[in-house]
Structure 1
Amino acid sequence: MAPEFTPSSGLRALAAAMDVYKRVFVAGPSAPLLSRSNPVRRSGFDLDVVVESVRTEAEDVRVVHLVAPDGGRLPTWTPGSHLDVFLPSGRQRQYSLCGDPADRRQYRIAVRRIADGGGGSCEVHEALLPGAALRIRGPRNGFSFVNTAPTYLFVAGGIGITPILPMVRVAAAAGARWKLVYLGRSRATMPFLPELVGYGDNVEVYPDDEYGIADIPEVIARAEPGAAVYVCGPPPVLAAAQRCTFAVNPTASLHTERFSAAPVLDGEPFELRLARTATTVTVGADETALAAVRRVFPGVAYSCQQGFCGTCKVAVLAGEVEHRDRILLDAERKDRMLTCVSRAAGDSLVLDL
């Protein structure tokens, strides 16, 4: 077992600010409804980078190293941060930084190929080569690491290991008490296993083809009292963690991040009129406005599908919006919406599309 957690002077200097962060954004037993992902901090800026190298890390997973064109130092980042990456095709996608926060020379991202996705991951796998010039935005953090917790449980499913890996690195370096439970379809599909070997018994690896589907309540129950529980992975893992965490560990705090769009909850059908082309589409109760728009305009811009990047922001010409995003300013909410999450508050909306 790791020694008792004694924060370094740098960590102690941040403790007060992080305590405020926890009280505002992090769920505890008294506020289980706030256990969803943290609001994204609107920071970062556009930056030109070059692809230094691309390699295969696991089945259908490619690792990309990005550096400054002049070889200079890149902006600082903290565990849980992601980059907005503008691919050569014009697609914009978010990828978690999974390298060492102390390494200012390069950024590392890992991308799992999703054949039936929106095409971004396939572009990375099939067209992104060393020497390619890219533009990125960030780093930004919507999954912040709380460095004052008494103990940590990290649960990563598949490519969900990417934001967790830097957290493990920082927790281990600080001498914190922590454990990582890493889930996946098979060892061949699970990236960064060799990097985790050095952490010994702090890491437990459970491929489905060896142990069966993991029992998430049993996994969460391993967290010590008062633990910060970080979960990143496919929707079923996140949903199970959100259902059970406070029941099996009432003093824990739950922090989650997802890599796919959340299911639409409590939706009502409505009509979308696209003013520029006089096209009307129906948005189903269980689908997003973005999905409905893409049926008639497949090339419409989008990225995160979770309401935090702003790529799908569009002007609203008529109708009242039920805002479900995490990024729009109050002034923007009068006549803008993010189609990936927000909906009509009434029967219809008219968009400037």
Structure 2
Amino acid sequence: MLVSVTGGTGYVGSHSVAAVLRAGHRVRLLVRDESAVERALAPLGVDPGAVDVVRGDVLDRFGVERLAQGADALLHAASVYSFDSRAHREIARTTVAGTERVLDAARRAGVGRVVHVSSFGALLPSPGRELGPDSPVGRPRETYLAAKAAAESVARAHQAAGAPVTITYPPALLGPHDPKLGDQVTRLRNTLRGLMPIWPTGGLPVGDVRDTAALHAGLLGGVGPAGNRHFGPGEHLTTRRFVAVLREVTGRALPTAHLPARAMLPLGLVTGLVQRVWPWHIPAEYGALYTCACAARVAEGASGSPGRPVPETFADTVRWLHREGLLSARAAGTAAAG
């Protein structure tokens, strides 16, 4: 079976590609930079020569059409995942238009199975206390989340029209081998580097990128769970629990103060404005604060299998950061010896 993939050199995409190949399928990637294929896949034990490559991006109509042509299944994982205000223009430019182009091309090409990677954040703020497959599309007041919500509406419109589109909602993902060092892994790293002594209250679902990748491989191969909307395996963590698990796996004290998330939102707005002109990353992003303030839980049973234990995922992430020279032995604490 041939599986075409967008976003295959990103965090979720690269792990999903590895899982699809392990399941015995062929993979075709849409990439802007072919050199990124080896950087993303080689650390996962994937021979870059084992995948076919189409040059282009999700806004390139001809590239997207070549990607979809002849594919048995397609994974749309391309997205600009960032709460950094400097990325707002790119997020707004690519996320919704890219989803429209990719899903339209897959439908015209007669692709038999399409998986669109959404986010639990696309359903925020939730009118109820829990998120489930029937939760309405959210109307979040944050650029990244709003773009994911708009892309979610595009995918649901294809579902309503009878297209074979399945939507997945990964939690906030951690785990080893993040080729682009995205926001969530960076947030964990910044905490261990002492750059985040103040955290908002609230919480968010957290999971392992390898578990979400396994979900995608199953859905693409037709052996996944029934239904056309699925939450990735994970566990809801309060921010206090998040820091507590980091203390557990590193043996470090990590002194932290917790302030009400909603009270911190004005600070997030200010830092977002400053970040547009400040060259170094400020780890106090409005989007992260907003997500914690919403603090919606995934309904019990909605994410299927429970996935890896959270401490295991955290420890693997810390060890990987240390091995890659992105975290000192002191910052990694006892996890560095694992």
- TM normalised by structure 1 equals 0.29
Structure in which a larger fraction of residues adopt strand: 1
Question: Greater relative contact order: 1 or 2 (C-alpha under 8 angstroms, separation 6 or more)?
Answer: 2
- TM normalised by structure 2 equals 0.30
Structure in which a larger fraction of residues adopt helix: 2
Larger radius of gyration: 1
